[in-house]
Amino acid sequence: MEMKKGELLNLTVLVTSKCSLKCKMCATYAPYCSRSENYSYEHLTKSVARFFENIDRVGMFTISGGEPLLHPQLSELVDFFSTYIDRIELFEIFTNGTIVPTDRLLESLKFSSKVDVLVDNYGPELSRKVPEIANAFSASGIKHRIRKYYGDDTHLGGWIDVSDFTEKHRTEKENENIFKRCSFSTTWKNLIILIDGTVHMCYVNSRLLDFVPDKPDEYINLLDDSLSDSEIKEKIFNLRNRKFLTYCSHCNGFCEDSKRYTYPEQL
């Protein structure tokens, strides 16, 4: 599905590839990422600033990971991102129910009623701190929701296993068709993912997964000072309007009819 000019982009910023859990079906491939790292404050702030120099408004601005609360400068990052709040409709942060927010982070997150914290609950054995975390956000008056990722009523019907990356020997048309059915061209058709200064449109990329070939025309390096503002803007919209990515040829996609799993299996 094509993104139309004038539609709002959603920006998800991965602040770390480190995680306190090892979910086999992690959508951002944290346990598989060979570069397990907190992305630098300098790269994150410079690239977000560059993004907003070129894009006027964002629908959802989401802080994700890995587990964002593992980043030692998360509060400072929230303070920096908050300066763009007038150009953001909803400011989300994901967390996996294992780490209680510090007082400093709670203070930082109070800056706007647009803040919405999504506490993902992977069950009492994994997300052990959910009640404590929910209490901390309630006591600070910070809006939060708990999403259940196990058992009955699992969020979005359950986990999807997108880990079979064998060559599928598809034609170009078949690659287009798998992409058309994938959530990255339907539900998330306006999504741009920022990883350590580079923007992507899907988590199956060479920045997170070593075996995915590096295709410089399938991401944009916002830290590259040789790119002009107009080039960046055009490249972002061109990226979002691709018919498929090279590696769709090896992937079954996050599709509406993909098999669902209701237990967050750990590696």
Interaction of residue 160 with ligand SF4, rule CB under 6 A: no
Looking at beta carbons only, is 39 or 247 nearer to ligand SF4? 247
The closest alpha carbon to 33, from 250, 212, 193, belongs to 212
Shortest Cβ 25–ligand SF4 spacing (Å): 13
Shortest Cβ 267–ligand SF4 spacing (Å): 20
Shortest Cβ 148–ligand SF4 spacing (Å): 24
Near ligand SF4 in 227-246, by CB under 6 A: 245
Which residue in the set 119, 204, 232, 236 belongs to the binding site for ligand SF4 (CB under 6 A)? 204
Looking at beta carbons only, is 103 or 172 nearer to ligand SF4? 172
Q: What span, in angstroms and rounded, lies between the C-alpha atoms of 88 and 81?
A: 10
Q: What span, in angstroms and rounded, lies between the C-alpha atoms of 27 and 237?
A: 23
Near ligand SF4 in 86-105, by CB under 6 A: none
Looking at beta carbons only, is 17 or 183 nearer to ligand SF4? 183
Q: What span, in angstroms and rounded, lies between the C-alpha atoms of 7 and 206?
A: 28
Looking at beta carbons only, is 26 or 204 nearer to ligand SF4? 204
Looking at beta carbons only, is 63 or 251 nearer to ligand SF4? 251
Near ligand SF4 in 10-49, by CB under 6 A: none
Looking at beta carbons only, is 74 or 204 nearer to ligand SF4? 204
Which residue in the set 96, 247, 258, 264 belongs to the binding site for ligand SF4 (CB under 6 A)? 247
Interaction of residue 77 with ligand SF4, rule CB under 6 A: no
Which residue in the set 62, 158, 248, 264 belongs to the binding site for ligand SF4 (CB under 6 A)? 248
Looking at beta carbons only, is 52 or 247 nearer to ligand SF4? 247
Three-state secondary structure readout of the chain: CCCCCCCCEEEEEECECCCCCCECCCCCCHHHCCCCCECCHHHHHHHHHHHHHHCCCEEEEEEECCCHHHCCCHHHHHHHHHHHHHHEEEEEEEECCCCCCCHHHHHHHCCCCCEEEEEEECCCCCCCCHHHHHHHHHHCCCCEEEEECCCCCCHHHCECCCCCCCCCCCCHHHHHHHHHHECCCCCCCCEEEEECCEEECCCCCCCCCCCCCCCHHHCEECCCCCCCHHHHHHHHHHHHCCCCCHHHHHCCCCECCCCCECCCCEC
Phi, psi of 80 (to 5 degrees): -70, -50
Which residue in the set 14, 23, 178, 232 belongs to the binding site for ligand SF4 (CB under 6 A)? 178
Interaction of residue 182 with ligand SF4, rule CB under 6 A: yes
Size of the site for ligand SF4 (CB under 6 A): 13
What are the residues binding ligand SF4 (CB under 6 A)?
A: 162, 178-179, 182, 184, 202, 204, 245, 247-248, 251, 253-254
